[in-house]
Amino acid sequence: MERRRFAQDALSEWMKTNGPDSEIVISSRIRIARNLSRHPFPMLATNQQSREVMEQLTGVARDERLESFGRFDIFILSELNELEKKVLVEKHLISPGLANESRGGALLLNDKESVSIMINEEDHLRIQCLYPGFQIKEAWTVASRIDDTFEGAVDFAFDEKLGYLTSCPTNVGTGIRASVMMHLPALVLTQQINRILSAITQVGLAVRGLYGEGSEAVGNLFQISNQITLGQSEEEIIDNLYGVARQIIEHEKAARERLMAESRVRVEDRVNRSFGILSHASIMDSKEAAQRLSDVRLGIDLGIIQDVPPCVMNELMVMTQPGFLQQVFDEVLNPEQRDIRRAELIRGQLLKSESGGV
């Protein structure tokens, strides 16, 4: 099987650099939902209509105005195998919904994998921009420019009163979802997380797991995003998320300081135990791996572990997912085999990083 470029590395190019507050904010993301006027929305479209939308939108990828965002490749979903689509989902480059779409689904992906443009998912067009660390405003600037490029080439479904029209009513209006992926182990360990999350939902924000809606928050990773797209401007949505995320960052920093001041030995023991298990285990399921990788990442950020760079933890969070794991070993694995291979891969990567191979 020819290996697509997105399957070569677990880390997308944009993930290989640190952004502001990257010890807490893993990534910032903007997603914009749009539909073409005079075309049925994807759920009502025929195969032929879906193909027409795909051809029209992929044609915009050749617009010279997109060149400033990198070289874009076009991937037709029907031409990818199931494992390749799973890898794209695990790297957050497409949604599970698009992975299951067989009628005119396509992906426009730039060379840094920081911009992924999904075609014929729930909406005709979904523009996604990803940045490392806490850079939600920077991600919005880029996403807005790409949106302007498409709007200059096609007619979007728009209502003067409601705004941009989308398949799901919760996206009507601006059509944007802004989110930050946050690593909050200290708030979990100090048992403050439930109070924090409850306060977040009261200000119009949603809390989800690593893979968005319907996913569990494993490995102390929480995705914080806006819920409201109607009745607020894009800037108001971004500013609200930015302000709340800034407060969460400060709470997590304070919780980490408290842990080290009051429970240093216990924290060091937890971190070192997880590091030891990851370095020597022969079998490891995905949930345990996520939790122990979270412990080690906290240890790196607190200076308890100094020989492993943070990017190794980010890489392992992707590499140990079922799809990428099978891609790495180039074999179909049942659940038990995946657990054995997962442990083997983690041992190898940690040994490599300690010996200066990263």
211 annotated to bind ligand: yes
Give the CA distances from residue 145 to residues 86, 115, 118, in Å, rounded to whole numbers and listed in that order.
29, 12, 16
* Contact assessment for residue 84 and residue 7, using Cβ atoms and an 8 Å cutoff: yes
Counting other chains too, the contacts that 56-61 makes at CB distance below 8 Å and 24 or more residues apart are: 56/154, 57/106, 57/108, 57/117, 57/119, 57/124, 57/125, 57/150, 57/154, 58/106, 58/108, 58/119, 59/153, 60/149, 60/150, 60/153, 60/154, 61/108, 61/117
24 annotated to bind ligand: no
65 annotated to bind ligand: no
* Contact assessment for residue 183 and residue 134, using Cβ atoms and an 8 Å cutoff: no
Q: Which residues pair with 145 in a beta bridge?
A: none
- With H, G, I as helix, E, B as strand and everything else as coil, classify residue 27: strand
- Please choose, from the candidates 13, 210, 1, 187, the residue with its C-alpha nearest in 3D space to the C-alpha of residue 92: 210
- Please choose, from the candidates 130, 99, 104, the residue with its C-alpha nearest in 3D space to the C-alpha of residue 45: 104
286 annotated to bind ligand: no
> How far is Cα 171 from Cα 165, in angstroms, rounded to an integer?
8
- Please choose, from the candidates 232, 290, 20, 217, the residue with its C-alpha nearest in 3D space to the C-alpha of residue 133: 20
246 annotated to bind ligand: no
59 annotated to bind ligand: no
CA 89 vs. chain centroid, Å, equals 9
210 annotated to bind ligand: yes
179 annotated to bind ligand: yes
HSE-up (13 A, CA, CB side) for residue 178: 31
- Please choose, from the candidates 355, 357, 324, 353, the residue with its C-alpha nearest in 3D space to the C-alpha of residue 341: 324
208 annotated to bind ligand: yes
> How far is Cα 204 from Cα 241, in angstroms, rounded to an integer?
9
212 annotated to bind ligand: yes
138 annotated to bind ligand: no
180 annotated to bind ligand: yes
> How far is Cα 277 from Cα 283, in angstroms, rounded to an integer?
10
Tally of CB atoms within 10 A around 37: 11
Binding residues for ATP: 27-31, 92, 126, 177-181, 208-213
State the binding site. Answer: 27-31, 92, 126, 177-181, 208-213
